[in-house]
Amino acid sequence: MSDDIPPSTSAQKKGWFDRVSQMFQGEPQNREELVDVIDDAEMRDVITEDTREMIKGVLEVSDLRVRDIMIPRVQIVTLNIGDSTDDLLKTVIASSHSRFPVINEDKDHIEGILLAKDLLKFGFNQSEEAFSIDKVIRSAVVVPESKRVDILLKEFRSNRYHMAIVVDEYGGVSGLVTIEDILEEIVGEIEDEFDHENENECEIRQISNSVFSVKALTPIDDFNEEFNTNFSDEEFDTVGGLVSHAFGHLPERDEQIMLDGVEFTVTNADNRRLIQLRVKFLEPKVQSAS
């Protein structure tokens, strides 16, 4: 009966068996070889470019610690447990966040987490007696800076919580981390309509004492003023242009380059331009108040 199989069908069948057999040959022995296999799969149209980047993002997350991606203490928007309902609502609406640490005295004394939806239902016209923060506050999850990000993601999913308070080795609050922060490491920046409305307001965001997230469209003049650096703006107007020229090609996500003692890592890019960079200084920097 095999003689009755059309030649084209036989060729297709053979090709399919060849591809399957290749999957079990030459297994990658290290991270670099695995990345090469992923890149080759994208070149052969086995997977899409977006899929390739997500797989690489998953590999990157396995090497990260919570301290690498957390929102630093200075940028945490908190609610004070003693504030009135009106004051709480004003902070919630102004920040547009969905979850807030509730503090007592300072950020080292966190009483719990308040969801905006639990507060907004009380409205502005309810009497103060109708609202008690004790009725809506939720327990805060606390994790150490050294916790692996991939393990935290698994805990986020299994326990169905979305935010954790990050503490240092002395027990002080050093930041917070959300499930969105982890997902952005895998799929890239997640923006909503509020982000687009304010896309020029947060060109530089502090991650730690020496690490910053910088939009590629940040003017070089602004970057120099912020960090007291001396990068030339004669040929390029933006940090992204400066970095792309230094690479000599349009870099992809996770590519790194050192310029004048400053490490630039591409954290988000498409096939036309750089979008976001992670900037690491050899000496700790403190972002200016501007």
Asked whether residue 22 carries a pLDDT value surpassing 90, the answer given is no
Q: What is the gyration radius of the CA atoms in the chain, in angstroms?
A: 24
**Mean per-residue pLDDT, 122-150:** 78
| pLDDT for position 148 | 92
Predicted local confidence at residue 231, as pLDDT:
93
Which of 1-5, 137-141, 232-236 has the weakest average pLDDT? 1-5
Query: What is the pLDDT at residue 20?
Result: 42
Over the stretch 195-230, which tens digit does the pLDDT of each residue have? 444 444 457 888 777 889 899 889 999 999 999 999
Provide the whole-model pTM: 0.54
200-227: burial string, b at 16+ Cβ within 10 Å, e else: eeebbebbbeebbbbbbbbebeebeebb
Mean pLDDT is lowest, of 30-34, 58-62, 76-80, for 30-34
Closest CA to 189 of 222, 214, 225: 214
Q: Residues of CATH 3.30.465.10 domain(s) within the chain?
A: 200-281
- For residue 56, what are the CA distances in angstroms to 61, 78, 188, 229, 244? 9, 34, 11, 32, 21
> Is the pLDDT at 65 greater than 70, yes or no?
yes
Question: CATH for 200-281?
Answer: 3.30.465.10
Nearest-angstrom CA–CA distance, 85 and 131: 7
Q: Which CATH superfamily is domain 68-184 in?
A: CBS-domain (3.10.580.10)
Average pLDDT over residues 28-34: 72
pLDDT single digits (tens) 175-193: 999 998 888 887 766 555 4
- Confidence label for 269 from pLDDT (cuts 50, 70 and 90): confident
Distance CA 106, CA 173 (A): 10
Q: Is the pLDDT of residue 6 over 60?
A: no
Three-state SS at 144: strand
Counting residues of the chain whose pLDDT is more than 70, the rounded percentage is 77
Say whether pLDDT at 258 is over 90: yes
Q: Where in the chain is CATH 3.10.580.10?
A: 68-184
Question: Order of strands, edge to edge, in the sheet holding 274-281?
Answer: 204-206, 211-215, 274-281, 262-269, 256-259
Give the per-residue pLDDT at 263.
Answer: 93
Q: What integer pLDDT is reported at residue 272 of this predicted model?
A: 63
3-state DSSP call for residue 203? coil
Q: Pick the residue with more confidence: 98 or 134?
A: 98
